[in-house]
């Protein structure tokens, strides 16, 4: 393969809403440029960038895919990104390694939820962007309606550089508003259009659109504005460089029209990418993270002459080829079999058999120049977000910051063999998916897997089964309730046991009081005069901690309380650590009886983004979930609702939100604080949470009786009478 330098490279990311036609457009670009022998399709698995089993089976992009097209003397590196809410973080991961974004919009639907989301990503990374209206050969595709949707969402700087010739099944070509020429195609042909004059019925519309384009370009340049006023237009030789500069500076967002499946306008699109999008060498010097004491971040110019540095932006764990790392060379030249330093992990790596990715095919190369994208397999320590380079010139590029996962499931292996393979399989998946989390809850003792949504977790589980032959069950996680107190107590805990020889004796007096939420546990030693020897005081504290960890109401840890040890007594012979631990436990249980124990539940901070028409539905649903609305914002036709909602009410929210918003809503959720479970819910919740072995049958019966009285739950005649008898027995005691 020919080696390209930075000035002859264009790195673009295709992003937008799901089913907008991104993958079909990439396939058409490769076919038109001669990179493939047939026009790949998503539905039959022949698309170059959708090759994973899960992607083919689900008919959707799940991971970013890489490909390249050689067009004239330029190499176009294309990053095809997913467009569904649960996988759109892959688009954000691609942002640092491209110089421009092609925001793909469906010719019927116009601007959708993820369109606005990736647009915000481009704003965050200050990335020049172009809009490609695809699937213009669909029924009900309408250029005028789509342009209105775009200008309404993104402002007047959205301007068409083309107009379609025909519509729906009669789409035959596009009009270039810069050169004022038409290009026509055979629908489903080889993608090479024929240039000609603009059809007579479209000349007036094209002239009007051309004048609007020229006027908008001239606004940003005084010389062009003077020329525009003098001549009434701007000649092509001045308009092209001015337009290139306006796009690079984000002053203009041009709109083009295509059909990927019909292969219409694709050659014009690639001409546009070559002529108007910035090359890697045009970008400002790339900033690294601050590592020196003077606070100045190091920078690297994108040039072959600079010291070598490269950034790993994607890792794929292939069960046969091993770990494959995709990288962007920011400076210098990477050569085969070179040894580089991993600045992130302080390790050395050998880059053997470097290649260029064409979907799942690795095309071997001997070197990769600054600004280009390459791949290498079997690096030992390198993961996504790592920086590698020349050991003598250290730099570390910042990692992409992703939101925390929105949903968590408990995961358990089906068999003992699956249990042995679970850890390996999950950690391999985590290497390639930065939004996947796997951890063990120390309170509930469950293994948990977290992701952006239910479908995201299901895809991970399916990959584990197919790739690593590990089968697991998913279930809703246990809610990590806690317990606390609302009152004060002053009690004595005495443990005394005589066995004939040395006995056991421990005696302590404590005061218990609540702490503010988040205070956890505080132990105060207020002993004077040696009522309890110093060496036994830690034993009292340990006994209280052990009892608190086991809980009082429902077996959940007791938190946010202070214990003051102020008096006690001991025996010279019979007292020991164990005796005072047991005395501490007894004192804790007595204090809990007096201190008004209550149940705490985790409350999540939730941010929900939905189209404006669903805002009322979402608000009503949050209120039914005991949510507290914290605020609302409007962003480009979407409403962002911020709320605090109990975790117990959010376990199935992903599926519910999809149902309420027709799949157009998204949400992020993270732990915020613990709060008291309302009284009307607390009694019933305690009944269902308390294991029968945790408390006496009488007390459990009392709780059940209260539950019957407060919620009118029908327990069955036999169970009710057993409960009533136990209640009477407990009252008599």
Q: What is the CATH number of the domain that holds 433?
A: 3.30.70.870
Write out the two tokens for 631.
């605020």
What is the C-alpha to C-alpha distance for residues 554 and 552, in angstroms, rounded to an integer?
6
Question: Is pLDDT at 702 greater than 80 in this prediction?
Answer: no
Q: Contact at 8 Å (CB) between 599 and 685? A: yes
- Residue 339 in any domain: the answer is yes
Q: Do both 329 and 424 map to the same domain?
A: no
Q: Do both 202 and 251 map to the same domain?
A: yes
Q: Do both 137 and 57 map to the same domain?
A: yes
- Residue 291 in any domain: the answer is no
Q: Do both 124 and 218 map to the same domain?
A: yes
Look at residue 19 and give its three-state secondary structure.
coil
Q: Do both 231 and 278 map to the same domain?
A: yes
The phi and psi torsions of 570 (rounded to 5 degrees) equal -150, 170
What is the C-alpha to C-alpha distance for residues 85 and 87, in angstroms, rounded to an integer?
6
Q: Scanning the structure block, which residue is given the tokens 């796997």?
A: 438
Whole-angstrom CA distances from 490 to 315, 508, 513, 559, 593 are: 59, 11, 9, 18, 11
Q: Do both 173 and 106 map to the same domain?
A: yes
pLDDT tens-digit readout, 1-25: 788 999 999 999 999 998 899 999 9
Look at residue 215 and give its three-state secondary structure.
helix
What's the structural domain count of the chain? 6
Q: Do both 116 and 247 map to the same domain?
A: yes
243-253: average pLDDT: 91
Confidence at residue 51, expressed as pLDDT on a 0 to 100 scale: 86
Closest CA to 277 of 304, 322, 244: 244
Containing structural domain, residue 544: 487-595
- Residue 481 in any domain: the answer is no
Q: Contact at 8 Å (CB) between 609 and 113? A: yes
Point out the least confidently predicted range of 446-460, 496-510, 678-692. Answer: 678-692
Out of 562, 595, 628, a domain closes at 595
Torsion sign across C-alpha atoms 81, 85, 87, 89: positive
Question: Is pLDDT at 691 greater than 80 in this prediction?
Answer: no
Point out the least confidently predicted range of 206-210, 228-232, 312-316, 682-686. Answer: 682-686
Look at residue 500 and give its three-state secondary structure.
coil
What is the C-alpha to C-alpha distance for residues 156 and 160, in angstroms, rounded to an integer?
11
Confidence at residue 225, expressed as pLDDT on a 0 to 100 scale: 81
Q: Do both 467 and 559 map to the same domain?
A: no
Write out the two tokens for 84.
């569904």
Confidence at residue 293, expressed as pLDDT on a 0 to 100 scale: 55
pLDDT tens-digit readout, 255-278: 999 998 889 999 999 999 999 999
Look at residue 7 and give its three-state secondary structure.
helix
Confidence at residue 276, expressed as pLDDT on a 0 to 100 scale: 93
Q: Do both 329 and 430 map to the same domain?
A: no
- Give the CATH number of the domain where residue 522 resides: 3.30.230.10
- Residue 660 in any domain: the answer is yes
Q: Contact at 8 Å (CB) between 261 and 136? A: no
Out of 595, 617, 643, a domain closes at 595
Closest CA to 489 of 506, 508, 514: 514
Question: Is pLDDT at 552 greater than 70 in this prediction?
Answer: yes
Confidence at residue 201, expressed as pLDDT on a 0 to 100 scale: 92
What sections of 475-569 are H helices per DSSP? 537-550
Q: Scanning the structure block, which residue is given the tokens 């020196």?
A: 292
Point out the least confidently predicted range of 211-225, 359-373, 555-569. Answer: 211-225
Torsion sign across C-alpha atoms 260, 264, 270, 275: negative
What is the C-alpha to C-alpha distance for residues 309 and 288, in angstroms, rounded to an integer?
11
Confidence at residue 224, expressed as pLDDT on a 0 to 100 scale: 81
What does the CA dihedral 433, 435, 439, 444 come to, rounded to 10 degrees?
-140
Q: Do both 226 and 148 map to the same domain?
A: yes
What is the C-alpha to C-alpha distance for residues 182 and 271, in angstroms, rounded to an integer?
14
Look at residue 725 and give its three-state secondary structure.
helix
pLDDT tens-digit readout, 182-237: 999 987 777 788 999 999 999 999 999 998 998 888 887 778 888 877 777 788 88
Mean pLDDT of the chain, nearest integer: 86
- Residue 453 in any domain: the answer is no
Bridge-based pairing of strands 162-165 and 173-176 is antiparallel
466-476: average pLDDT: 89
- Residue 322 in any domain: the answer is yes
How many other CB atoms are found less than 10 A from the CB of residue 578? 13
Write out the two tokens for 556.
């959940």
């Amino acid at each position: 393969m020919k080696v390209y330098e930075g000035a002859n490279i264009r790195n673009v990311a295709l992003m937008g809403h799901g089913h907008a036609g991104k993958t079909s457009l990439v396939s058409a670009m490769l076919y038109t440029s001669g990179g493939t022998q047939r026009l790949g399709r998503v539905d039959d698995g022949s698309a170059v960038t959708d090759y994973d089993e899960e992607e083919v089976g689900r008919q959707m992009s799940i991971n970013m895919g890489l490909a390249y097209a050689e067009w004239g003397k330029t190499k176009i590196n294309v990053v095809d990104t997913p467009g569904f809410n649960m996988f759109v973080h892959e688009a954000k991961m691609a942002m640092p390694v491209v110089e421009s974004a092609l925001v793909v919009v469906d010719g019927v639907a116009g601007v959708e939820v993820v369109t606005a989301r990736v647009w915000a990503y481009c704003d965050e990374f200050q990335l020049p962007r172009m809009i490609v209206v695809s699937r213009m050969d669909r029924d009900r595709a309408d250029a005028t309606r789509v342009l209105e949707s775009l200008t309404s969402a993104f402002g007047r700087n959205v301007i068409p550089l083309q107009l379609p010739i025909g519509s729906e099944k009669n789409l035959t070509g596009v009009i270039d508003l810069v050169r004022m020429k038409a290009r026509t195609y055979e629908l489903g042909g080889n993608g090479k259009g024929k240039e000609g004059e603009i059809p007579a019925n479209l000349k007036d519309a094209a002239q009007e659109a051309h004048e609007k384009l020229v006027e908008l370009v001239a606004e940003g340049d005084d010389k062009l504005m003077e020329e525009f006023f003098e001549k009434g237009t701007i000649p092509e030789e001045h308009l092209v460089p001015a337009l290139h500069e306006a796009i690079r500076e984000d002053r203009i967002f041009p709109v083009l029209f295509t059909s990927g499946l019909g292969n219409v306008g694709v050659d014009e699109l690639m001409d546009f990418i070559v002529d108007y999008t910035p090359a890697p060498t045009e970008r400002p010097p790339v900033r690294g993270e601050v590592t020196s004491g003077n606070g100045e971040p190091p920078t690297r110019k994108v040039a072959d002459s600079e010291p070598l540095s490269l950034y790993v932006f994607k890792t794929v764990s292939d069960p046969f080829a091993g770990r494959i790392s995709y990288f962007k060379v920011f400076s210098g030249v990477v050569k085969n079999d070179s040894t580089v330093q991993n600045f992130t992990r302080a390790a050395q790596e050998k880059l053997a058999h470097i290649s260029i990715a064409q979907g799942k095919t690795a095309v071997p190369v001997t070197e990769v120049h600054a600004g280009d994208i390459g791949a290498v397999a079997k690096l030992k320590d390198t993961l996504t977000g790592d920086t590698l380079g020349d050991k003598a010139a250290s730099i570390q590029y910042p990692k992409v910051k992703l939101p925390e996962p929105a949903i968590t499931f408990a995961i358990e292996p089906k068999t003992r063999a699956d249990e042995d393979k679970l850890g390996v399989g999950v950690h391999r998946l985590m290497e390639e998916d930065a939004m996947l989390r796997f951890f063990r809850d120390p309170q509930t003792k469950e293994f948990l897997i977290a992701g952006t949504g239910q479908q995201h977790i299901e895809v991970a589980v399916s990959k584990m089964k197919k790739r690593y032959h590990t089968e697991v069950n998913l279930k809703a996680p246990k809610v990590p309730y806690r317990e606390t107190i609302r009152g004060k107590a002053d009690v004595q805990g005495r443990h005394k046991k005589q066995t004939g020889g040395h006995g056991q004796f421990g005696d302590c007096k404590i005061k218990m009081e609540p702490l503010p939420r988040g205070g956890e546990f505080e132990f105060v030693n207020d002993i004077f005069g040696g009522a309890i020897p110093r060496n036994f005081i830690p034993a009292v504290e340990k006994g209280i901690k052990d009892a608190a960890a086991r809980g009082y109401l429902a077996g959940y840890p007791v938190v946010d309380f202070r214990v003051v040890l102020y008096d006690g007594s001991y025996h010279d012979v019979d007292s020991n650590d164990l005796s005072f631990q047991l005395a501490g436990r007894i004192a804790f249980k007595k204090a809990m009886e007096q201190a008004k124990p209550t149940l705490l539940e985790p409350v999540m901070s939730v941010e929900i983004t939905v189209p404006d028409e669903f805002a009322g539905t979402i608000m009503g649903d949050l209120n039914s979930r005991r949510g507290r609305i914290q605020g609302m914002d409007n962003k480009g036709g979407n409403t962002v609702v911020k709320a605090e909602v109990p975790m117990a009410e959010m376990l199935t929210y992903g599926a519910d939100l999809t149902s309420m918003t027709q799949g157009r809503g998204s949400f992020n959720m993270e732990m915020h604080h613990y709060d008291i479970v309302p009284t009307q819910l607390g009694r019933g919740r305690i009944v269902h949470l308390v294991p029968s072995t945790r408390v006496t049958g009488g007390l459990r019966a009392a709780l059940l009786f209260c539950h019957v009285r407060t919620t009118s739950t029908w327990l069955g005649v036999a169970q009710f009478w057993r409960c009533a008898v136990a209640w009477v027995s407990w009252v008599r005691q």
